[in-house]
């Protein structure tokens, strides 16, 4: 038996965004219904290298398919400067739940990017106005691309306002998407006035003011992924229909972690989880909803759901490189 090796190009080729969004939505539903297993991330901290490793195993049963695997991912802050390598890299082992055979090993960096975009799209689908045509993006780094790709696949986005302190990054973003959308560089204030706003920065003090948001803006707060990180005004979090991906992760390291720890924001301010909305236990946007905000920290089930889409499509199309990796002899 052979394990399929899937590099960046293979992942991109086989991760049809519409399928990834549906799979991630299914994963949120499975998690909500108790049909997923996601042990807490295990951390290995290496202060001597200014980095850490995280092991993220998961299983989910979406009804007509199930999937298992592990993502091994890191955050090494000095990588760019010292080693010309990304801060974050990931590798995924995707396994058959029934036999545990490793069906694929794939580029987890690319999967992470895609599943993060897909999570924003699921939230946007349930929480943004139906006719959202404008998208603001704050932070033009690696995650911004999949925000636009994913969100544009569920809303009729025409105008994109991208904001970043680094002009080169803004220009690269405009170059990439200028043909398909009306993309322009703008201030955070201009980005925040759009129908949908995705923030993908690592800042530790809020940079988006409450009053800059449109009356019905839906915000995807994707940036905060560690204690102390915080992109938005507390007033935004308190005023918004506030939706989280996971209670434990968001209160510990998501957008809400700072005001929640300080007691400024309490459990009563949380409208519900994205899983509750997906399965219909909580309402998404209604005629009465003003601003809404999705606090996304990223769940291992999103990675495994995305890996499922990539593997299934690659396998069907004979993509990737099959390799005899594992000894499967029975003795």
**CB half-sphere exposure, 171, CA atoms < 13 A:** 3
Q: Which of 18, 40, 180, 248 binds a second copy (CB under 8 A)?
A: 40
Structure-token match 């349930």, residue found = 126
User: Among 117, 125, 115, which residue's Cα sits nearest to residue 243?
Assistant: 125
Point out which span in 67-75, 114-122, 177-185, 212-220 binds a second copy (CB under 8 A). 67-75
**CB half-sphere exposure, 166, CA atoms < 13 A:** 9
Binding residue per annotation — 115?
A: yes
Q: Does 329 sit near a second copy (CB under 8 A)? A: yes
Point out which span in 49-57, 122-130, 155-163, 289-297 binds a second copy (CB under 8 A). 49-57
Cα–Cα distance between 73 and 67 in angstroms, integer?
A: 19
In the complex, what is the shortest distance from the CB of residue 80 to a second copy, in angstroms, rounded to a whole number? 5
**Strand ranges, E, within 217-312:** 218-221, 241-244, 270-273, 292-295
Q: Which of 86, 178, 290, 322 binds a second copy (CB under 8 A)?
A: 86
Cα–Cα distance between 95 and 93 in angstroms, integer?
A: 6
Binding residue per annotation — 228?
A: no
Q: Catalytic pick from 71, 113, 155, 232?
A: 71
Q: Does 95 sit near a second copy (CB under 8 A)? A: yes
* Residue partners of 1: CB distance under 8 A and separation at least 6: 101, 324, 326, 328
Assess whether 71 carries a catalytic annotation: yes
Point out which span in 75-83, 127-135, 179-187, 197-205 binds a second copy (CB under 8 A). 75-83
* Residue partners of 178: CB distance under 8 A and separation at least 6: none
Question: Which residues in this chain contact a second copy in the complex, by CB under 8 A?
Answer: 1, 3, 5, 7-8, 37, 39-40, 42-46, 49, 51, 53, 55, 57-59, 68-70, 72, 74, 76, 79-80, 83-86, 89-91, 93, 95, 97-102, 105-110, 141-142, 169, 172, 321, 323-331
Residues designated as active site: 71
């Amino acid at each position: 038996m052979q394990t399929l090796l899937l590099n960046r190009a293979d992942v991109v080729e086989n991760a049809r965004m519409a399928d990834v969004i549906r799979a991630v939505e299914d994963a949120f539903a499975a998690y909500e219904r108790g049909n997923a297993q996601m042990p807490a991330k295990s951390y290995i901290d290496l202060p001597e290298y200014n980095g850490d490793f995280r092991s993220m195993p998961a299983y989910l049963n979406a009804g007509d398919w199930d999937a298992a695997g592990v993502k091994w991912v890191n955050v090494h802050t000095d990588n760019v400067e010292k080693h010309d390598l990304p801060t974050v890299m990931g590798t995924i082992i995707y396994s058959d739940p029934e036999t545990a055979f490793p069906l694929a090993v794939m580029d987890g960096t690319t999967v992470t990017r895609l599943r993060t975009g897909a999570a924003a799209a699921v939230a946007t689908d349930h929480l943004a106005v139906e006719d959202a045509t404008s998208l603001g993006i704050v932070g033009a780094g690696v995650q911004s691309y999949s925000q636009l790709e994913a969100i544009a696949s569920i809303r009729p986005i025409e105008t994109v306002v991208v904001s970043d302190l680094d002009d080169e990054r803004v220009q690269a973003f405009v170059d990439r998407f200028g043909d398909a959308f009306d993309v322009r560089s703008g201030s955070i204030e201009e980005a925040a006035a759009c129908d949908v706003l995705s923030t993908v920065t690592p800042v530790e003090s809020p940079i988006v003011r409450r009053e800059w948001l449109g009356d019905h803006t839906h915000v995807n707060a994707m940036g905060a992924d560690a204690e102390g990180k915080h992109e938005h005004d507390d007033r935004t979090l308190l005023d918004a229909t506030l939706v989280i991906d996971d209670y434990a992760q968001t209160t510990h390291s998501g957008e809400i972690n700072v005001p929640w720890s300080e007691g400024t924001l309490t459990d009563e301010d949380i409208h519900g989880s994205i899983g509750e909305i997906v399965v219909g236990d909580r309402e998404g946007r209604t005629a009465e909803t003003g601003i809404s905000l999705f606090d996304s920290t990223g769940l291992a089930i999103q990675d495994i759901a995305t890996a499922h889409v990539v593997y299934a499509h690659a396998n069907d199309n004979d993509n990737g490189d099959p390799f005899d990796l594992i000894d499967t002899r029975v003795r």
